[in-house]
Structure 1
Amino acid sequence: MNATVQSSALPPLVEPGPELTVEEIERYSRHLTLEQVGETGQRRLKNARVLVIGAGGLGAPVLHYLAAAGVGTIGIVDDDRVSVSNLQRQVLHGVEDVGDLKTESAARALARLNPLVAVQQHPVRLNAQNARDIVAGYDLVLDGADNFGTRYLVSDACALEEVPCVWGSILRFEGRVSVFWSGRGPTYRDLHPEPPPAGEVPSCAEGGVLGMLPGTIGSVMAAEAVKLLTGIGEPLVGRLLLHDALAMTWRELRVVADPATPSVTRVSDGTLDADGPGACERAPGAPGEPGAEAETTSAARDDAVTAGELAAMLDRRAAGRAEFALIDVREDWERRLVSIPGAVPVALDALLDHGIEALPAEARGVPVVLHCKSGGRSARALARLQPNFAYREETVRHLDGGVLAWVRDVAPHLPEY
């Protein structure tokens, strides 16, 4: 393993821009006072073009601090809309922004903070067809994506366009930060050659995330961006920073390029199966949304049903033409927010510990459909139960996309959480 790991500052990513105006000198005076930044460094920030993937938990502090620092052009990629559940951690948005595109809400917030910064909105889902074109227009990428598929897309596009990427991830109380830069150090594929199996690692929607954690990790990401743009300090190239908010500790691990990792020749198509560490903010399973578990849905598999199929099944059951049990493996508080009619609650832990014995009487001898919020937990329960159903006439499947898909495709009048 022979990745180049810098022990000192790398060359600045951008050349200095135009002379600072009097307004800019006043606004950025604290930077100008720093010998390492100074007027030349601030002019580099002014001339920089930075792309931020995601305007959610990590994107919120990243965008705030990049705009405040005077980065001249900031691009935002996100096709999601602001929801009430975002406000616990996505401090870029407010109640008045609920329902709006996150790119629009973010652009308004940045304009209020620093009208000298230009914001370019990309309200699209990043995919194999558009990733390189979007990345190519920027000097640096900050990846605050919420799913494995997008992370591999970003990594591949950055490698092909020779653009460094500041990467961050959050889950529960833990966060990670690194800088991936093909040719100068490892890439995301060196850290995670393959995604974990579906359902093995929960998304933030299912595993939760401390509301303040994105601020901590996002601030580190923004600091790395300023260092790379201005050529100061020692960036996290070849280093992985790990933070535990509960223990309030920081650890550092060395990461080197794996010679066995194939060279990137094209942008991956994103057809991956799992969200993972740092996969926030929207749960997996909603095609066309940043948190989609994969660009292809699992509905084509024999072990999954779509929300539309489940609705038809429930109608046939109500008419006495079908028999099956719908099992809800979510927590009680989640069911209080929104539930699918006719579902029977069963604790996920009970299913994982006891398998088929944990199913209620009404689920014995009939087909079973499991569901959770977005598909991750039900996939785990499905994997646990499948061996029990291997020699049975009945089937066990789960709802692709969970309650989020049900609300989106069948019952849009119900609240989303």
Structure 2
Amino acid sequence: MNDAQLLRYSRHILLDEIGIEGQQKLLAARVLVVGAGGLGSPAAMYLASAGVGRLTLVDDDLVDLTNLQRQIAHTTARVGQPKAESARATLLAINPEIEVLALVERADEARLAELVAAADVVLDCTDNFATRHAVNRACVAAAKPLVSGAVIRFDGQVSVFDPRGGAQPCYSCLFPQDQQFEDVACSTMGVFAPLVGVVGAMQAAEALKLVMGIGQSLAGRLLLLDGLHMEWNSIAIGRNVDCPVCAARDAADAG
């Protein structure tokens, strides 16, 4: 690191658990953020400010006036612009030393497989089960840790699904992909703005810890936040031995 980087990241370097070695790991890291909206905004901003060397943002949506109540990476002047490009401008304004790739697209299975394989950690900041399951399948196949978050109304949740842990569950163990779950949209149900900041920031924290290999991740645990009463609950998540995603991969690897 040069002198400017030592100064920029000095408050991280002062932490014994991080130090120069941990910060260098962040500078060399490649993180994929799927979704540049309510969750993706704060998550990506903290990843950028922390010095993650290469951030890839994937989102095919445009900035809308209704987004600005909670999607803090965007501005009024950018209404109508692609969210990925708007977020990229914000991240580079925070930290011009990092690399930010903005992909204005809805990634299909093949594309997700390519993007996930090139990343060290993946953040699912999307708002629908189809994409969440597609991201999960790609992460399981590539053995890449996935940090998942969701917020609706006054409720939030966050967890880590790390296929490198062997016996750890994947997203499909918690929400089986062969079951029907109703997607609840912010446009119809509403969302309390600060909660996406809380959950998005926690996703960033988990991603940074995974990159540096410090602390204990949320793998095997689901944190639930009741924003109205500001209460957290932690629920243990078990591995589904019949999961068609992670169990099937283990069976294929064994065969």
TM-score class normalised by the smaller sequence: over 0.9
Specify the alignment match of 2:252 in structure 1: none
In structure 1, C-alpha distance between the alignment counterparts of 2:44 and 2:29, rounded to whole Å = 14
Specify the alignment match of 1:340 in structure 2: none
Aligned length: 247
Specify the alignment match of 1:98 in structure 2: 79
In the superposition, the TM-score normalised over structure 2's length comes to 0.93
In the superposition, the TM-score normalised over structure 1's length comes to 0.58
1:37 pairs, out of 11, 18, 23, with 18
In structure 1, C-alpha distance between the alignment counterparts of 2:248 and 2:188, rounded to whole Å = 32
SS in 2 for 1:212: helix
Is residue 170–residue 246 contact of structure 2 (8 Å, CA) maintained in 1?
Answer: no
Is residue 145–residue 164 contact of structure 2 (8 Å, CA) maintained in 1?
Answer: no
State the Cα distance separating 1:83 from its structure 2 match: 0.5
1:253 pairs, out of 203, 226, 235, with 235
State the Cα distance separating 1:201 from its structure 2 match: 5.2
1:72 aligns with 2:57: no
Is residue 160–residue 266 contact of structure 1 (8 Å, CA) maintained in 2?
Answer: no
Specify the alignment match of 2:102 in structure 1: 121
State the Cα distance separating 1:258 from its structure 2 match: 0.4
Is residue 81–residue 100 contact of structure 1 (8 Å, CA) maintained in 2?
Answer: yes
Q: Which has the higher helix share?
A: 2
In structure 1, C-alpha distance between the alignment counterparts of 2:247 and 2:173, rounded to whole Å = 15
| Percent pairwise identity | 43
State the Cα distance separating 1:68 from its structure 2 match: 0.4
Q: Which consecutive unaligned segments of at least 5 residues does structure 1 have?
A: 1-19, 268-417
1:208 pairs, out of 162, 165, 190, with 190
1:231 aligns with 2:213: yes
| Inter-CA distance 201–137: structure 2 relative to 1 (3 Å threshold) | closer
State the Cα distance separating 1:242 from its structure 2 match: 0.6
| Match runs of 1:267-278 below 5 Å | none
Is residue 156–residue 266 contact of structure 1 (8 Å, CA) maintained in 2?
Answer: no
Cα RMSD of the aligned pairs, angstroms, is: 1.6
1:50 aligns with 2:18: no
1:217 aligns with 2:199: yes
1:136 aligns with 2:109: no
Q: Deviations over 1:167-206 (max 9, x none)?
A: 00001001000001124111100000037647x4532211
In structure 2, C-alpha distance between the alignment counterparts of 1:260 and 1:220, rounded to whole Å = 30
Task: Tell which structure's C-alpha radius of gyration is larger.
Answer: 1
| Match runs of 1:179-328 below 5 Å | 179-184=160-165, 185-194=168-177, 197=180, 200=182, 202-263=184-245
1:159 aligns with 2:178: no
Specify the alignment match of 1:308 in structure 2: none
SS in 2 for 1:194: coil
Partner amino acid, structure 1, of 2:173: D
SS in 2 for 1:39: helix
State the Cα distance separating 1:136 from its structure 2 match: 1.0
